[in-house]
Every structure is written in C-alpha cells, then in structure tokens.
Amino acid sequence: MDGLTKGISNSEYHGSDLLSRSTASALLTTSPQKVRWERDNPLTYKGVPLVMGGCFHSMVLEPECLDEEYAVKPTEIDGKSPLTKHYKEEFAAMQAERPHVQWVKDDNWETCEGMANAIMSNSVFTHYASDIDAVAEASGFFNYNGAKCKVRPDLYTSDGTIIDLKSTQDASEAGFRSAIRKFKYDFQACWYLEAMRALGLPARQFIFLAVEKAGSFETASYTLTASEIDRQKPRMQKACEIWATCMESGVWPGYPEEVVTLDLSRFGDNHKLSLSQVAEKFGVSRSFVYAIIKEFELETTNVGNQRRVDLTAFSNALRQHSEGKRAKF
C-alpha cells in the first residue's frame, strides 16, 4: 500500500531516529533532555509485559514471524531445573544460537495464546482483517509541523480504518476509559490518524480492540469522538515543534531551573478518593486497598499528604479480584 512499507523489522523501526507517538507524548510530560538521554541509552532488558505484548501481537498480526522472534522458555533441560548449573549453561547456549529471540515462560505463552485466540474470534477484528488490501505492522514515515515522524499501525485497512490491539486488565467501558486517560490513548489515536493524512492515505476511524489479560480473555471494541481526537491535535503539533527545534539546534532542555510554584488543587478530582475514604466506602481495610492498588497497578495521585485513587478504576479492580481474575503482567 502506497505510503506504508512492509518488511521493516521491529528493531529497525524502533531504532530509527524519527519521532514516534510514544516519544512525542514523553516530550509533553517530561523534558527533551530526558527523552534524548533515554533514546541514546535504550534499555537492553525488555520486561515481561513488553515481551508478552510483542508476542501476542505477533501471534495475531504476523504469525509467520512468530518463530523467528519468540520461543517458549523450557521448564527444564535434560531433566534439570532452571536453578541448576546445567540448565543455566544449556539455556545460555540456546540464547547464543538464537540471539534475536525473546524467550517467554510457558504460562505466559499460554496467556498470549489465550488473548490472541480471543482477538481472532472477535467479529470486529475478523471483519476488518478479511480486507484483502489490509496491511499489518507496516511502517510510515512523514513530516509534521517541521518534524520527521514515524508510525506503525497494527492493522490498516483500505477504507482508512486503523485497528489497534490493546491488552488490558479491564476491557469494560469504565475500565478502558480509565486506561485511555492513564496511557493517553487519545493522543495515540490522533497521532495515527494525522499520520495517515500526512501520508496521503484515507483516515476514517481509529478502533481500539481491547482484550483482558486473564480469565476468559474478554474482548471489546471502542472508538473516540472526532472532537476528542481533535482536542489532541495542538498537543501533537507542540510535540513536533519541540522535536524539530531540538533536532535543529542540538539543544535538549531539561526541567526549568527556576523555582516553580505547584498548585496541588488542580489535581482535585471528584472521582478520586483518599485511601481511607475508599476503605470506608467499600468496607475494607486500608491494607486491603493497598493490596488491590499494587496487584492491579492502579494509578494514584498525591494531593497534599493524601494518596488518592480513581474510584471507578478501584471499583473495577475490586470486581475482578472478587471474580478471581488476577493481573498477570
């Protein structure tokens, strides 16, 4: 498909020094100096969530590449457990023979398969994936507000629809709405649609296809209103302007050196309660509230000397906990 290129590996794409959506978002929430340092000093170790996310995407979108990029880590070698010297030596040899492979524990592999099967059974996915002209994991390179940028939609169809796969703790409306706020998925939708337009391609809609990470691997599909997406355009333009300026000047500013007065009142949110208020509302102990926040990695905010959590997010997490659903990554 004109404007999008297949055959570029994940490592090549992520290694290019062009502005991506995630880097643009970081420019707006941290500092150019920090962003530049992190790009110049990439992590050599990929955490379990990142590896599982990549494995799950490959199972759905590029199954022909799965064996080249991922493999199940053996539970034992020659009858020896991972704690033994023999296992460690043999596994190190396996890694050396296949240096580009990410090794996934067997239970995590099963989780990836569960999510992949759920997605491939979803009617929205099967509808758009049946488009013979649809392309998966194709890369696009474009200019926007002076910056050289890149984009890599999970699935792009001939009618201008972008499908983005999201693994999540809670695929319900309330749960995924919380995830959109937390991970700034609205900014992502804007970035991808604007990228398609810059590439001269149709940009009809952006659909999030969410799948839960545990239990029955429930799926749900969501989109955002045009006004919600358009609200992110000034932020995208600002991020590109910052990037272009820094690239041209070679100067990557850090945080302000002057004393900044913080207004904590702006973090006040009627939907966020202190941990004591949450404990009282649900009739549980504060320690139990802490445990749920930790288990489901809920975002909290400090307001003065109080730690607050989103009421809807906690309620959804508590429901999952009660149903026996556990956060796996």
Is 39 domain-assigned?
Answer: yes
Q: Are residues 38 and 136 in the same domain?
A: yes
Q: What domain range is 175 assigned to?
A: 10-45+121-239
Is 34 domain-assigned?
Answer: yes
**SS3 assignment, position 157:** coil
If pLDDT is split at 50, 70 and 90, which confidence band does 265 have? low
Q: What is the CATH number of the domain that holds 292?
A: 1.10.1660
Q: Judge whether residue 327 has pLDDT over 60.
A: no
Mean pLDDT of the 234-241 span: 96
Q: Are residues 203 and 287 in the same domain?
A: no
What are the tens digits of pLDDT across the range 171-199? Answer: 999 889 989 988 999 999 999 999 999 99
Please state, in angstroms and rounded to a whole number, the distance separating the CA atoms of residues 250 and 156. Answer: 35
> Which residue carries 């010297």 as its tokens?
85
How many domains, in total, are found in the chain? 2
Q: Are residues 31 and 141 in the same domain?
A: yes
> Which residue carries 């730690």 as its tokens?
307
Is 257 domain-assigned?
Answer: no
Q: What share of the chain is helix, strand, coil (3-state, %, to 5)?
A: 50, 15, 35
286-295 and 275-282 are packed helices; what angle lies between their axes, rounded to 10 degrees? Answer: 100
Is 289 domain-assigned?
Answer: yes
Is 209 domain-assigned?
Answer: yes
Q: Are residues 179 and 309 in the same domain?
A: no
Q: Are residues 28 and 134 in the same domain?
A: yes
Q: Judge whether residue 12 has pLDDT over 90.
A: no
Q: What is the CATH number of the domain that holds 209?
A: 3.90.320.10
Please state, in angstroms and rounded to a whole number, the distance separating the CA atoms of residues 126 and 55. Answer: 20
